[in-house]
Every structure is written in C-alpha cells, then in structure tokens.
Amino acid sequence: SSLRVVYAFAREMHPKTTDVFIEYGTAGFRTKANLLEHVVYRMGLLAVLRSRCKNGRTIGLMITASHNLEPDNGVKLIDPDGEMLEQSWEEIATRLANVSDNDLESTTGEIIKQVNADMALKASVYIGMDTRYTSPRLAAAAVHGVIALKGTPKEFGIVTTPILHFCVKCRNDNTYGTPTEEGYYEKIVGAFKNIRQKLPVYGAYSTTLHVDGANGVGGKKLNIIRKSLDGELDLVLFNLGGNGGKLNLNCGADFVKVSQKPPVGMELTPLQRVASLDGDGDRLVYFYMDEDCKNMHLLDGDRIATLLASFIMDQLKACGARDLRIGLVQTAYANGASTRYITDDLKIPVTCVKTGVKHLHHAALSYDVGVYFEANGHGTVVYSDTAKSVIRKIALDGDAEERKAAELLLNFIDMTNETVGDAISDLFMVETVLCARGHDARHWYNTYKDLPCRQLKVTVEDRNAISTADAERQCTSPAGLQARIDELSSAYDSGRAFLSSAYDSGRAFVRPSGTEDVVRVYAEADSQHSADKLAAEVAQAVY
C-alpha cells in the first residue's frame, strides 16, 4: 500500500539511530537535538492522527527546548483549543517515539485502531520552531511526517511557543482572532495600545523598560513590536542573539530565577525595571538592581500573579461584577509569603496543584477569572464565557464609571493569551497595571516580603522511587521519608504567621523532576541560613 512507501521513506530519511528510551514528559520530548529527528518525524505522524480524532481540527507542533541550552531541542503537540496535548495521548506519543523503524508501520496501525482515527478525514498541522540551529532540520522532519499520512502542514517558521498556541486556537475558533503572527500582534499589542492611550503616565511609573531576550525568539519578536508602540512603552532590548550571545546561557528567565543573578549581556542601571524572557518566550520574570547595582530584587511568577489578580479584582469591583469568582492557582513552589498575601490580604481563594502548566491551566478554568502562575514565570489568566459576557454587558449598560472599568477589562482580556503562559502578553499586562497604579518596580516589590527559600537537586539511583500526593506537598514513598521531612521542618520557624491556618514550622518538599533525572528539594524558613540548612538536611534524607 502507499503507507508501505511512507514507512520505507521514514527508514531512509529519518531513521531511529539510538536505543535510548525517550518519554513525552511535562513539556513534550526534550533531549540532545541529534537524538530527536526520528521522534519529530513520528510526532508529525501522530499530529495527523490527533487532528483526525478531532474531526480535522488543527493541531500544533512546536520545536523547542525552551530554557535549555543550545545543544538540546524538543517537540510538543498543541491541542485544538491551544492547550497542551491531552494527557492520555502522552503514552501513545511515547510508544510511537520508541518503536524500532521495523515496527513503525504496525505500531502506527495499532494506534490508528486504538484511537479510532478516521483516515478518510482531512488533517491540519501548524508547525513552529524556536531559534536553535537544529530547529529547521527538525521542522522539516515534522513536515515529512505530516505529509506521509496525507495531512496538511503549515509552517510558521520561527515563532514563540505562545504565538503558535494562539494561532492554533484562532484557526479552530475564529472568534478568538486571526491565525497568523500578524493577527497575534494586532490583537495583543493592539489591546495594549488601546488601554495605554487612555491611561495617563503618572507617579513613579516610567515608560522605559529594559528587556533580556535570552538570545531567543521572544526578544526578536519584541523588536518587531517595539517599532509599532508609538512611544507608549520604550523598550530597550538586550540579548537578541547577536554579538555572540548564546541562547539561554547565563541569561533569560530561568537563569535569573534559579541563580538569583542578573543576566550577562545587559547594561545594569540602578532601579531600572527589567523583564527577562526565556528562550521560547513563554516565561517572564522581572527584576531590578538596588541603588548601587549590587543586589538584585527578583519579581517572579508569584509576584506577577498577585499583581495581575489584585488589579483584575479591583476592576471587577469597579464595574460592579461582584458575582464573578476570581481565583488563583499556584504550585508547591510558590513562596509561602505570596500565598499568605493572596489569602489574607487580597482574600482571593488559592488552589495548589502539581507542577506543569497543564495542571495549573486546568484548575484555573474552574473559576470565572482564573489567574495561574508557576513561580518560574509561566502563567496567564483565563476567563469563562460567563465572565466575558457579563463584562461585555456592563460595558454597554453600566453607569459611566462601570462602563469605563468594563471597557478597560475587555481590552485587558484581549491583551491576554488565554491559551498558555506568554511572556509577551504577560509583559504588556504587567506594564498596564504598573502604569495604571503609577508604580515603579520598588512599589511592586514592597507589596509583601518573600520568605527565604532554597532549591536543590539530588541525583539518586531511581528518581521514580519517590512518589508524591497532595499537589506534591506530601511524599508517599519511600516509606518514612515524609515523617523525616516533617521532623526536620518542625525544627525551623515558618516566619509567615498565617491568619487562616496555624502554620508555624519551616516548609519543605521533594519531588522527582519531570524534565531531568534528578529529585528536586525545596525548603522555606524564616532566614536564608535556615532555608539552606533545611534544604541540605532534606536532600540528605532523600539520598
């Protein structure tokens, strides 16, 4: 049959050259780029099957390894509404990626039966890639995979991961926008400019923003956007990939968050607000240097979440939409001080879920307005249909003040990439809130004080010997480990006197990484010394 030819072609063009087992993890497949060609080809095949299972709706395929260094690469699939691939398909993806070339044909046949894909249907796959030098070759392998099963590929070239998510969503739901990079700018940047034209610049807010582009795709896109901002925001861009700057190397959101150091390749100015993106533009953190440029103050995902949630809540009050339920979603990595601030001061309910964007996104959908962020800077806001229609109605029938707040909210919603965390969209949201409040980075930083914390990683024989429950806050195996963690933690002070719950010891947890062969340890206490010590003790207990 013609499929025979397809599989023979795969063997020739994208042969499996390694026996190393590879798994579709929290963020798709990710490893050294030279081990990925057959995997990406097969994901091209799988994307076609997924599209057919979704009645021919468009599926996304993104080539990126996000914040990893240049030699790595990866691939992940995007479902029709712009969300991550449904979990039950991760196993299928893993199976297809690991079969031998000889078994590829029969395994594909079995999968077609298993998922009940109607091979007579059309299939459409949107393909994007980041700036890595290995990406074009992998994107070509994806295209071959899609064509092999008679799907229609459309290549977007170099785009941020969130731009591709946005385009997939728009292609399947044309009320969301136009499925092109230009359509994305039109909607997101257009909404930002609409708001800013109505907001006076006042107080401590300055329109100058420095940006660390991580030498990746996000900075490049901001450079395109910069020219159309009409002075509403003065972007000064660094780490755009020129001058020998290496992707994510000592720069970018992950480096800044984990090392708590400013990125290389930037001119550091005292008190200047800086936004740091990751390599594929789906994470954002801010920071500023103190007066003498010695200490860095980090404004991470927890800070962005609290800033956005408090602002949106104020606007909901101002437009009289009191029945809409706003909620915030975090993971165990959220700083305890942020959780305390949200529950006790903002009085917004918080849900804690497992690490990984899909878990946060899913939990956020249960609110009318769901704000979700990982501490590492990945997050966004999602709005229910009810929320959107209530706000639209107020924008028409409210009194003058209510209409004004509702109109601002409608623009704010348009500025949001609701499909996934998006550094560019988040950056415009943060700038809107700071401008509306006349605040600089110091005001923002002083809303609450972070608890000292420490992260460590431990290499063990088998990281999967560790299992967790309660959103990774409890360790259920090996036996006795949780009791030991409790015992160690209770020797420290929390430093965070909750109004709502009487938490008074230090806090620590362990979990197996979903992206590296390590166990991660997190500890938090009332001083840096205590946090460091607790983390070291827990790491010892794991080892």
For residues 376, 172, 394, 345, the Cα torsion angle rounded to the nearest 10 degrees is -20
Q: Closer CB to ligand 16G, residue 48 or residue 357?
A: 357
Q: Closer CB to ligand 16G, residue 440 or residue 516?
A: 516
Would you give the DSSP letter of residue 498?
-
Between strands 453-458 and 467-469, the pairing is unpaired
Q: How far is the CB of 361 from ligand 16G (least distance, A)?
A: 9
Coil, helix or strand at residue 274 = strand
508 Cβ contact list (under 8 Å, min separation 6): 485, 488, 489, 521, 522, 523, 524, 534, 535, 538
Q: How far apart are CA 53 and CA 437, in angstroms?
A: 47
Q: Is 426 near Zn ion (CB under 5 A)?
A: no
Q: How far is the CB of 291 from ligand 16G (least distance, A)?
A: 33
Q: How far is the CB of 276 from ligand 16G (least distance, A)?
A: 16
Q: Is 280 near Zn ion (CB under 5 A)?
A: yes
Q: How far apart are CA 431 and CA 439, in angstroms?
A: 10
Say which entry of Zn ion, ligand 16G, none residue 278 contacts (CB below 5 to 8 A, set by partner kind): Zn ion
Q: Closer CB to ligand 16G, residue 27 or residue 47?
A: 27
* First-last CA distance in the chain: 54
Say which entry of Zn ion, ligand 16G, none residue 414 contacts (CB below 5 to 8 A, set by partner kind): none
Q: Closer CB to Zn ion, residue 98 or residue 380?
A: 380
Which residues are 318's β-sheet partners?
none
Q: How far is the CB of 173 from ligand 16G (least distance, A)?
A: 21
Say which entry of Zn ion, ligand 16G, none residue 520 contacts (CB below 5 to 8 A, set by partner kind): ligand 16G
Between vectors from CA 533 to CA 465 and to CA 455, what angle results, nearest 5°?
55
Q: How far is the CB of 282 from Zn ion (least distance, A)?
A: 4
CA distances from 487 to 473, 480, 533, 534 (A): 15, 11, 14, 11
Q: How far is the CB of 515 from ligand 16G (least distance, A)?
A: 4
Residue 369 phi, psi dihedral angles, 5° rounding: -125, 110
Say which entry of Zn ion, ligand 16G, none residue 357 contacts (CB below 5 to 8 A, set by partner kind): ligand 16G
Q: How far apart are CA 485 and CA 511, in angstroms?
A: 12
Q: Which of residues 281-310 bind Zn ion (CB under 5 A)?
A: 282
Stretch that binds Zn ion, among 47-55, 64-72, 233-241, 268-276 (CB under 5 A): 64-72
Binding footprint of ligand 16G on the chain (CB under 6 A)? 26-27, 355-357, 374, 376, 378, 513-516, 520
Q: How far apart are CA 66 and CA 248, in angstroms?
A: 9
Say which entry of ligand 16G, Zn ion, none residue 53 contacts (CB below 5 to 8 A, set by partner kind): none
Q: Closer CB to ligand 16G, residue 105 or residue 374?
A: 374
Amino acid, single-letter form, for residue 496: R
Q: Is 66 near Zn ion (CB under 5 A)?
A: yes
Q: Is 215 near Zn ion (CB under 5 A)?
A: no
Are 521 and 542 within 8 A, CB to CB? yes
Two tokens, residue 338: 């942020």
Burial class (CB in 10 A: 0-12, 13-18, 19+), 331: buried
Which of 278, 407, 418, 422 is the binder for Zn ion (CB under 5 A)? Answer: 278
Burial class (CB in 10 A: 0-12, 13-18, 19+), 299: buried
Q: Closer CB to Zn ion, residue 16 or residue 257?
A: 257
Burial class (CB in 10 A: 0-12, 13-18, 19+), 179: buried
2 Cβ contact list (under 8 Å, min separation 6): none
Residue 262: cis peptide before it, omega within 30 degrees of 0: no
Q: Closer CB to Zn ion, residue 66 or residue 468?
A: 66
Q: How far is the CB of 281 from ligand 16G (least distance, A)?
A: 12
Q: Closer CB to ligand 16G, residue 39 or residue 78?
A: 78
Stretch that binds Zn ion, among 7-15, 61-69, 402-410, 472-480 (CB under 5 A): 61-69
Say which entry of Zn ion, ligand 16G, none residue 70 contacts (CB below 5 to 8 A, set by partner kind): none
Catalytic choice (1, 2, 51, 66): 66
Q: Closer CB to ligand 16G, residue 68 or residue 530?
A: 68
Coil, helix or strand at residue 509 = strand
Say which entry of ligand 16G, Zn ion, none residue 534 contacts (CB below 5 to 8 A, set by partner kind): none
Q: Is 425 near Zn ion (CB under 5 A)?
A: no
Stretch that binds Zn ion, among 60-68, 287-295, 460-468, 524-532 (CB under 5 A): 60-68
Q: How far is the CB of 459 from Zn ion (least distance, A)?
A: 24
Residue 66: active-site member: yes
Q: How far is the CB of 216 from Zn ion (least distance, A)?
A: 9
Q: How far apart are CA 326 and CA 316, in angstroms?
A: 9
Are 77 and 39 within 8 A, CB to CB? no
Two tokens, residue 389: 């229609």
Say which entry of ligand 16G, Zn ion, none residue 339 contacts (CB below 5 to 8 A, set by partner kind): none
Q: Which residues bind Zn ion (CB under 5 A)?
A: 66, 278, 280, 282
Residues belonging to the active site: 66
